[in-house]
Structure 1
Amino acid sequence: MADVAAIILAAGLSRRMGARNKLLLPLGGVPMIRHMVDVYARATTHPVLVVTGHQADAIEAAIAGSFAITVFNADYAQGQPTSVACGLRAACDAATMLIGLGDQPLLKSHDLHLLLETHQAGDQTRISIPVRDTDRGNPIVVPASLRAQLLEDPKSPGCKQFTRAHPEHVAFLTLSAPGFYADVDTPDAYSALMQHKLEETS
């Protein structure tokens, strides 16, 4: 396996879920964030770095004993770019980094392996982003050579603005697996996910 690290963003306020933190909702008998750590751990060569913020103590408790380490983003309330920057600064010196979300429970380890294999077969100096029609997915693959550039803009660190401003550093990979494009932001989305799981096991 290539030298791959992973950053999972788990600092958000989870406002659209209401009173509950979506990352702590149960999935297969474990909190969603623990499920996601386990998925990423099967595709990486370093401990999974989880960026915490909102309800950090509960997130840390949920992943205790897993193949993960945490870093706290004190600026989490200012939005996701600050968590990306926090993760990039704290990540190990792996050649390749996956940056993903904590609320993509349809994502599977073999999806991550396919993403990495496709990235490695192409231009490894670019940020690889999964796409399906007009949808951009997550996680993205970031080569270590671009880490410093992603942190250059103090007003908008991270990947979102950078990838739009610098298309020459981006490769779009056509990948169809639904896990890249589905997240769980609302109670209705979580209910639909659980109903699907029940149908799979019935």
Structure 2
Amino acid sequence: MIDPRLTDIPVILLAAGQSRRMRGADKLLEPVEGAPLLRRQADSARAATDGPVIVALPPPPHPRYAVLTGLDVTPLAVPDAAEGMNASLRTAFAALPTGAPAAMLLLADLPDLLPAHLARVLEAVDLDSDTLIWRGATEDGAPGHPIVFAKSMFAEFANLSGDGGGREVVALAKGRVKLVSLPGQAARRDLDTPEDWADWRAERRER
């Protein structure tokens, strides 16, 4: 059961990367079950909360904005997105509502991550414990996404730089992190190259 204080938890969806390894294509616009991956992931985030869904995006104009049309999400341009993921984290955490007791962070390029997985991580969150971070993990225990950060961690994102993806903030929690096992490799499997996408689609056809 999800803590009532978390029913309107803000969700940050990181979608400002440059998709460099796709050799001209955009991985977040690849179709998955009839919709661009980014729209599908935004739908999943929207299903996880009654609160705001903040989608960090490259500066406009950019095709990713169009695929979010009609969704109840907040596009957030990251002016310095080319710097790396930490620029998106700085910008998105600065945009969170002041009263939020926690926030969920989600990567947009994890196509096996489903709304039920987000709910499972939220169900594990205990705001009255000394845990500061709750995060999805693979079935063999490798940490991944989504990640829920307690409010006391928000300020740590303000001075991040580079492309560390928030690892510095996780390190500051000094072990006060709870891993939540999710099926298979859903918490970590991203598709960064055309070959990754081809392999993933082939696996789905074989099921």
Both structures adopt the same fold (TM-score exceeding 0.5):
yes
Seq. identity, %: 27
**Partners of 1:131 and 1:172 within 8 A in 2:** no
Q: How many residue pairs end up in the alignment? A: 198
Which residue in the other structure is 1:12 paired with?
A: 17
Which residue in the other structure is 1:35 paired with?
A: 40
**CA separation in 1, counterparts of 2:47 and 2:97?**
17
**Partners of 1:82 and 1:158 within 8 A in 2:** no
1:145 matched to 2:152? The reply is: yes
The residue type paired with residue 149 of structure 2 is V
Which residue in the other structure is 1:116 paired with?
A: 122
1:49 matched to 2:54? The reply is: yes
1:159 matched to 2:166? The reply is: yes
TM-score where L is the length of structure 1: 0.87
1:188 matched to 2:195? The reply is: yes
Aligned alpha-carbon RMSD (Å):
2.3
**CA separation in 1, counterparts of 2:144 and 2:165?**
16
SS in 2 for 1:139: strand
**CA separation in 1, counterparts of 2:62 and 2:132?**
35
Which residue in the other structure is 1:176 paired with?
A: 182
SS in 1 for 2:24: coil
TM-score where L is the length of structure 2: 0.85
TM superposition shift of 1:172: 2.9
1:96 matched to 2:133? The reply is: no
* 1:144-185 Cα distance to aligned partner (Å, 9 max, x none): 23211332x3546972112124415x3131413232121111
TM superposition shift of 1:34: 0.0
**Partners of 1:150 and 1:158 within 8 A in 2:** no
Q: Structure 1's 176 and 53: CA in aligned 2 closer, same or farther, altered over 3 A?
A: same
TM superposition shift of 1:128: 1.5
**CA separation in 2, counterparts of 1:174 and 1:69?**
27
**Partners of 2:59 and 2:79 within 8 A in 1:** no
* 1:12-67 Cα distance to aligned partner (Å, 9 max, x none): 11111111010011111111000000111111122311000167521110111012
Aligned with 1:59 (options 46, 61, 64):
64
SS in 2 for 1:188: helix
Q: Structure 1's 154 and 48: CA in aligned 2 closer, same or farther, altered over 3 A?
A: closer
